[in-house]
């Protein structure tokens, strides 16, 4: 009863309990602002998606090509080493190096554009037979982030992107800032949101075998983030993006939280019923390397995430652990296989109440293996301390029988069940609006160096 009373109080803070977007609850701040929550935007959450509905406004395309104002001078920047994927040196990184092609997304902390590298000189014809180098560039207005108390979220996302490198995490090539804008230059995820892929499938779901493949890639990404000391806290199909080759990558890390990474431990394997050793009797074959989830040093009780994916401990305001990510993995896996999330209600209050107390059920008309059901039950265990992954981290999940045929080391080499490919806009050679012209005309408010809340935005150089 106490938990349900707390749910009601949270709904009052969020606005009306009845909402057309019960998936979208997130706090505007970090853990220093417990209880402050708002209803977020509908299920169009990807900021890097080519398939996003948003288009570039005519007023943006008509941006005058005047001289660049002093407000667009780069104050600080970092970048990966010059390579084939990103053929600019850190010194060359600037908004004027990119040509905006179209607006592809808008998230809580910025607008994202598909952009190509400006490789030709002014007035020179573009070779339409040559595939351009394409990127997703997120543009964040400093003044807006300060007013909305989202500075910490911006800095968190940039920290995650700058310090991680994994096949299933979106790659950032560079970040830089002007007086009034922040820029992230990232890889373009040509397949768009995983959510949209799911919605395009018959009955908005996939078979168990395909779901196993995608669950494996997401598990690997979460395992890596935990090893780096980050708890993701906002897993959902909208934040999982698809490359042109069909492989997945996590994005949108503004709700992530830094924790203390824990070292893996060596433990003895459990003996069988008769206590038998394996065939060769080797002591080494009786040992397992077990991962441990990162540990929060202080309070971690923020009401953050997306309504249908919130774990019971988040709703109840209890201390959170890395196990919140394993709960969301269970919800994602369930949605992939059954086409719906397991606890969704008609209104937000009902969704929260279901998460706290409703029995987990499986649709009778969709047959799945007993191993699949068992894994879902273990991931969706309400007691975080008993949830699969809470003690042995990702090792507990990867060793589950449902993944018996999964080759974890070769996931990236496998052909995904769905390969979306990549299509360029037909008129890409005519798209000439440069990013710096956008910066000169969009937004307002010019921060001075003394009041720049983003001084450390470029403090960490990417690998």
Please check whether residues 175 and 239 belong to one and the same domain.
no
383 is catalytic: no
* Bridge-based pairing state of the strands 265-268 and 287-290: antiparallel
The pLDDT value recorded for residue 304 is: 82
The CA distance from 173 to 98, in Å, is 13
Instruction: For residue 449, give the nearest of 216, 201, 177 by alpha carbon.
Output: 177
Q: Are residues 360 and 427 in the same domain?
A: no
Cα dihedral sign, 250-254-257-262: positive
| Overall pTM > 0.85 | no
Average pLDDT for 203-209: 96
Cβ atoms of 157 and 254 within 8 Å: the answer is: yes
> Are 222 and 334 in a shared domain?
yes
Distances (CA, A) of 31 to 256, 257, 376, 434: 11, 9, 29, 38
Q: What is the model's pLDDT at position 307?
A: 94
Chain segment 381-403, per-residue pLDDT in tens: 999 999 999 888 899 999 999 99
> Is the same domain home to 311 and 394?
yes
Q: Is residue 99 part of a domain?
A: yes
Are 376 and 397 members of one domain? yes
Domain count, the chain: 2
Q: Residue 322 pLDDT more than 60?
A: yes
CA distance to 158, 223, 258, 341, 348, per residue, from 231 (Å): 15, 10, 7, 22, 25
Would you say residue 49 lies in a domain? Answer: no
Q: Are residues 308 and 400 in the same domain?
A: yes
- Clarify whether residues 174 and 251 are in a common domain: no
Share the mean pLDDT of the chain: 76
CA–CA gap between residue 413 and residue 30 (Å, rounded): 37
Query: Please, which pLDDT band fits residue 59 given cuts at 50, 70 and 90?
Result: very low
The answer to the question of residue 333 being in a domain is: yes
- What is the domain-level CATH number for residue 212? 1.10.510.10
Last residue within a domain, chosen from 413, 431, 446: 413
Each residue's pLDDT tens digit, 353-376: 999 999 999 999 999 999 999 999
Is 245 part of any domain?
yes
Neighbours of 378 (CB within 10 A): 18
Q: What is the rounded distance in angstroms from the CA atom of residue 401 to the CA atom of residue 395?
A: 12
Residue 371 domain-assigned (yes or no): yes
How far is CA 405 from its chain centroid?
Answer: 27
Strand-pairing partners, residue 105, are 112
Same domain? 270 vs 164: no
Inside any domain, residue 48: no
Same domain for 106 and 225, yes or no, is: no
For the chain, give the secondary structure using H, E and C: CHHHHHHHHHHHHHCCCCCCCCCCEECCCCCCCCCCCEECCCCCCCCCECCCCCCCCHHHHCCCCCCCCHHHCCCEEEECCCCCCCCCCHHHCCHHHEEEEEEEEEECCEEEEEEEECCCCCCCCCCCCCCCCEEEEEEEEHHHHHHCCCHHHHHHHHHHHHHCCCCCECCEEEEEECCCEEEEEEECECCEEHHHHHHHCHHHCCCHHHHHHHHHHHHHHHHHHHHCCEECCCCCHHHEEECCCCCEEECCCCCCEECECCCCEEEECCCCCCCCCCCCCCCHHHEEEECCCCECCCCCCCCCCCHHHCCHHHHHCCCCCCHHHHHHHHHHHHHHHHCCCCCCCCCHHHHHHHHHHCCCCCCCCCCCCHHHHHHHHHHCCCCCCCCCCCCCCHHHHHCCHHHCCCCHHHHHHCCCCCCCCCCCCCCHHHCCEEHHHHHHHCCCCCCCHHHCCCHHHHCCCCC
Q: Name the one residue in this structure whose structure tokens are 């909305």.
A: 148
Give the active site residue among 53, 122, 234, 285: 234
Please tell me which residue, 332 or 123, carries the higher pLDDT value: 332
What CATH number is given to the structural domain containing 136? 3.30.200.20
Query: Does the pLDDT value for residue 437 go beyond 70?
Result: no
Q: Are residues 185 and 202 in the same domain?
A: no
CB atoms within 10 A of CB 6: 16
Half-sphere exposure of 435 (CA within 13 A, CB side): 33
Amino acid 126: pLDDT: 59
pLDDT tops 50 at residue 53: no
pLDDT at position 12 is: 35
In a domain, 324, yes or no: yes
Closest by Cα among 184, 155, 172 to 80: 172
Q: Are residues 372 and 209 in contact, defined by beta-carbon separation less than 8 angstroms?
A: no
Residues 285 and 409 in one domain: yes
- Look-up: residue for tokens 């059954």? 338
In tens, the pLDDT along 150-179 reads 999 999 999 999 999 999 999 999 999 988
- Residue 437 forms part of a structural domain: yes
What is the mean predicted confidence (pLDDT) over 426-453?
Answer: 53
Pair 164, 248 in one domain: no
What range does the domain containing 307 cover?
A: 2-42+191-413
């Amino acid at each position: 009863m106490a938990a349900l009373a707390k749910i009601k109080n949270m709904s009052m803070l969020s606005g009306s309990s009845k909402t057309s977007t019960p998936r979208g609850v997130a706090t505007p701040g970090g853990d220093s602002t417990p209880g402050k929550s708002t209803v977020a935007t509908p299920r169009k959450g990807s900021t890097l998606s080519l398939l996003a509905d948003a288009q570039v406004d005519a007023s943006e395309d008509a941006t005058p090509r005047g001289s660049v104002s002093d407000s667009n001078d780069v104050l600080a920047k970092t970048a990966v080493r010059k390579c084939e994927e990103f053929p600019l040196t850190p010194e060359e990184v600037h908004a004027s190096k990119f040509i905006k092609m179209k607006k592809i997304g808008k998230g809580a902390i910025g607008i994202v554009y598909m952009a190509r590298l400006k490789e030709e000189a002014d007035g020179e014809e573009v070779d339409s037979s040559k595939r351009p180098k394409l990127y997703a560039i997120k543009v964040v207005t400093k003044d807006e982030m300060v007013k909305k108390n989202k500075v910490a979220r911006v800095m968190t996302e940039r920290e995650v992107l700058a310090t991680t490198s994994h096949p299933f995490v979106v790659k950032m090539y560079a970040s830089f800032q002007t007086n009034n804008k922040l820029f992230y230059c990232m890889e373009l995820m040509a397949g768009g949101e995983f959510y949209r892929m799911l919605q395009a499938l018959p009955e908005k779901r996939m078979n168990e075998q395909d779901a196993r493949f995608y669950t494996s890639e997401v598990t690997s990404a979460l395992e890596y983030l935990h090893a780096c000391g980050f708890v993701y806290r906002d897993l959902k199909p909208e934040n999982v993006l698809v490359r042109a080759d069909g492989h997945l990558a996590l994005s949108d890390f503004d709700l992530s939280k830094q924790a203390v990474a824990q070292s893996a431990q060596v433990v003895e394997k459990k003996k069988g019923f008769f206590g038998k050793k394996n065939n060769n009797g080797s002591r080494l074959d009786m040992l397992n390397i077990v991962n441990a989830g990162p540990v929060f040093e202080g309070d971690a009780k923020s009401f953050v995430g997306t309504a249908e994916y919130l774990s019971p401990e988040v709703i109840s305001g209890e201390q959170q652990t890395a196990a919140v990510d394993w709960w969301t993995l269970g919800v994602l896996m369930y949605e992939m296989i059954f086409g719906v999330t397991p606890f969704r209600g008609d209104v937000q209050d009902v969704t929260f109440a279901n998460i706290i107390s409703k029995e987990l059920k499986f649709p009778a008309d969709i047959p799945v293996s007993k191993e699949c059901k068992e894994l879902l039950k273990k991931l969706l265990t309400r007691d975080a301390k008993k949830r699969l992954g809470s003690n042995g981290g990702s090792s507990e999940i990867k060793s589950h029988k449902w993944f018996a045929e999964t080759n974890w080391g070769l996931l990236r080499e496998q052909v995904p069940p769905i390969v979306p490919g990549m299509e360029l806009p037909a008129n890409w050679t005519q798209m000439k609006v440069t990013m710096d012209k956008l910066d000169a005309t969009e937004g307002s408010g010019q921060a001075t160096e003394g009041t720049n809340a983003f001084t450390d935005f470029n403090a960490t150089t990417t690998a």
